[in-house]
Structure formats: structure tokens, C-alpha cells
Amino acid sequence: MAIIEKLKQADLKGRGGAGFPTWQKWQMVKDAVIADEPRPDGRGDKKFVVCNVSEGEPAVFKDVWLLEKDAPAVIDGILLAMEAVGASKGYVYLRKDYFDKYKNKLNKIIGQKPIELFREPCGYLGGEETTLLESIEGSPNGEARPEGGNRCEPRMKPPYPPQVGLYGCPTLINNLETLYYASKIAKDEYKGQRLYCISGDIKNKGVFEFRADWPIEKVLQESQNYPDDQFFVQAGGGASGTILLQNELQAPLSGAGAIIVHDLAKTDAQDLMKQWADFFIAENCGKCVPCREGVYRLREIVSQPIVDIEQVNKIVASLSETSFCPFGKGVANAFDSLVAKIRID
């Protein structure tokens, strides 16, 4: 059976946060038409595969766990994807500290295969697929951007990377965990699992592998992390994830795989919002006004002795509806779900 059909039958979803069906993305790149001959600008006549290991979201650490546990399977997944879609080159887009720590190990596994390691220059926003492409194009050989190189900013979509991606060529971008499980599916070793990063006010912090369709409540129970005291969780992402109460944990986890447990009595919701705002200000590219000004105003508001919830809601609505890329929508998701469910003193 062809690997794309296997991915479809396995119902593998992307593990980078969006949850897009993996087989559909692979099929789009496979079906994308390229030029028979190189164009004058040298673009559009190839296909690429990029393994996204930016992992800049707080409390998400599954990719580094996989690099330690089974890096060869990840490289196998990249090669499998390259063959399936007809790509001539692959990239491993690594967070700075991951690049420094694992470059020798990964280069040894890669050997002479057409896969290049890339040291990302962008931070958290580098995990957004078009920002990733911009940074590779502007930073040859994984070094810091040369003078005049591309900024770490997202592109307008459409067109989408499967049609017009790296250097104008059809490009498949998948999270490392996605490609890892693709390699398992090819070997008939996949049993519907996903990785969970569990942290916070718990006893057993770590990465756990359970079925992807398990409700969050069961994941906490089976990992021996279900608290005795009242709590809430932030699920999906470490800063952009959704706030869920104890009676809302019957659905499976979506997003990047993080479950952060907060003791309800001990957690200061205003301090939590300050932490998010500090993170989002530091990682904001400044391209669009809603994010550039909205996040700054959120930080001002949550730093006041009394938080103006009405103003928070107005800014959050603007971020959700008008931000240029998913960054602003992630900010909105976290703040909106918190103020709707947790008392802000």
C-alpha cells in the first residue's frame, strides 16, 4: 500500500498545532506541478520537505524528547516524505539550542543523504510555516541572517507552501512528531498514539505516549498526574493553549501536545496573564498592528492593580479577528478562555 494511503487510513493529524490531516498535505505537494526546466530565477523547478523542530512554545518539549529517544526514525520519516512527494532536498529546521546540541548526532545519521540541518534564527514565531520559509531563504547555511536578508515575519496566504513554498517551490512542512509517526505507519507500528507534554502543579512531569483519542482526563489519570485538589489546565500550547476546567476534560487534546496543570487555590490568574504577555511581547514580530499594539496594551492592562476585563475582551476580539497570522489568534485564545472561566481578583 502506498504511504499516503496508509497515512489516510491511520488518520494521522499534524502535531505542530493546526491538526491538519497529514495525508492531504502530502498529496497536495505530490500533485503540485513543477517546471520541466529551471526558470531564469532558478525557482519553481524543485520540491522540498522541511521538518519543523522550532518548538518555541513554553511547556512543549516532545520534539527534544524524540531527538533523544529515536532520531533515526525521524530522519527515516523525512526521507519517506521526500520520496512520496518527489522532493529533491530536505531540511531539519532546529531551534538554536537543539541545533547546537544535536547537530553532530543528526549529521552522523544523515550521512550523504540530501538533508540539511538549519539553525533557526527566529524564536517562537519560527514555528509558523511561512516565517520558517522566510528565515531559510534569508539565512544560507543556517547562520545568522546576512545584511539585507529576509526578516522573521509571516507571509501572506494564499498561496500556501504546498503550492508555493521554499524558493517558490512546492514544499511539505511537517512537525518532527508527525514525521516520526509517519515512519512508524510505514512499518505498520503505529497504534494511534501521540505525545503529551505534562507539567505544572503535578508530581510526574514528563513526556508520555498514549492514544491520540483519549480524553485529557484519562491522560492525566494514566500518567498519574490527576491532582487531588481543585485545578484547571491549559491545554494544547504552553502560552496559546485553551484554559479548561475540571468538568471540561472529556475531549481529546488538540494542538501542540501540552497539558499544564494549575492548582486553582494557589494560582494567581493575573500573574499568569503577565507571564503570557511578557512572552508574547518578546516573541512578537511587529508586522501587524493588532499584535504589535494589542499585546503591548494587554501587558499594560494586566499590570494594573485591578484588571479591566472589558478592555481585555475588546483587545482579544481584535486580535482574534484581525491579526495577520496565527500568533495573534493564539494570544486571544489564551486570554479569552482564562477571563471567561477563572476569577481575576
Residues 177 and 68 in one domain: yes
Residue 143 exposed, middle or buried by CB count within 10 Å (0-12, 13-18, 19+): exposed
* H helices present in the chain, as ranges: 3-10, 22-31, 62-85, 96-110, 129-138, 176-186, 216-222, 269-283, 289-302, 309-322, 326-341
Handedness of CA 316, 318, 323, 326 (dihedral sign): positive
CATH number at residue 333: 1.20.1440.230
Residues 37 and 139 in one domain: yes
**pTM, rounded to two decimals:** 0.93
d(CA 217, CA 16): 22
Residues 173 and 32 in one domain: yes
Nearest to 96 by CA among 59, 73, 127: 127
**Which residue in this structure is represented by grid cell 499584535?**
291
CATH number at residue 254: 3.10.20.600
Give the pLDDT score at 287: 85
Give the pLDDT score at 17: 67
Q: What is the DSSP string of 69-108?
A: HHHHHHHHHHHHHHHHHT-SEEEEEE-HHHHHHHHHHHHH
Residues 95 and 205 in one domain: no
* Mean pLDDT across 41-51: 80
Residues 119 and 252 in one domain: no
Please report, rounded to a whole number, the percentage of residues in the chain having pLDDT higher than 70: 93
Give the pLDDT score at 291: 87
d(CA 166, CA 206): 34
Residues 7 and 118 in one domain: yes
Residues 125 and 42 in one domain: yes
Structural contact between residues 32 and 47, judged by C-beta atoms closer than 8 angstroms: yes
Residue at 117: amino acid letter: L
Which of 230, 263, 296 marks a domain boundary? Answer: 263
Give the pLDDT score at 45: 78
d(CA 336, CA 316): 7
Which of 263, 288, 312 marks a domain boundary? Answer: 263
139-182 pLDDT tens trace: 655 444 444 457 788 998 899 999 999 988 999 999 999 999 99
CATH number at residue 9: 3.40.50.11540
Structural contact between residues 31 and 84, judged by C-beta atoms closer than 8 angstroms: no
Domain around 326: 269-341
Number of domains in the chain: 3
Residues 103 and 237 in one domain: no
Angle at 211 between CA 206 and CA 212, to 5 degrees: 90
Residues 9 and 86 in one domain: yes
266-294 pLDDT tens trace: 999 999 999 999 999 999 888 888 888 98
pLDDT-based confidence at residue 138 (cuts at 50, 70, 90):
confident
Residues 214 and 180 in one domain: no
Structural contact between residues 222 and 258, judged by C-beta atoms closer than 8 angstroms: no
Instruction: Determine phi and psi for 77, rounding to 5 degrees.
Output: -65, -40
Give the pLDDT score at 43: 59
Residues 157 and 213 in one domain: no
Which of 129, 162, 186 marks a domain boundary? Answer: 186
Give the pLDDT score at 152: 85
Residues 119 and 215 in one domain: no
List the beta strands (DSSP E) in 167-277. Answer: 171-175, 193-200, 206-211, 231-236, 242-245, 258-263
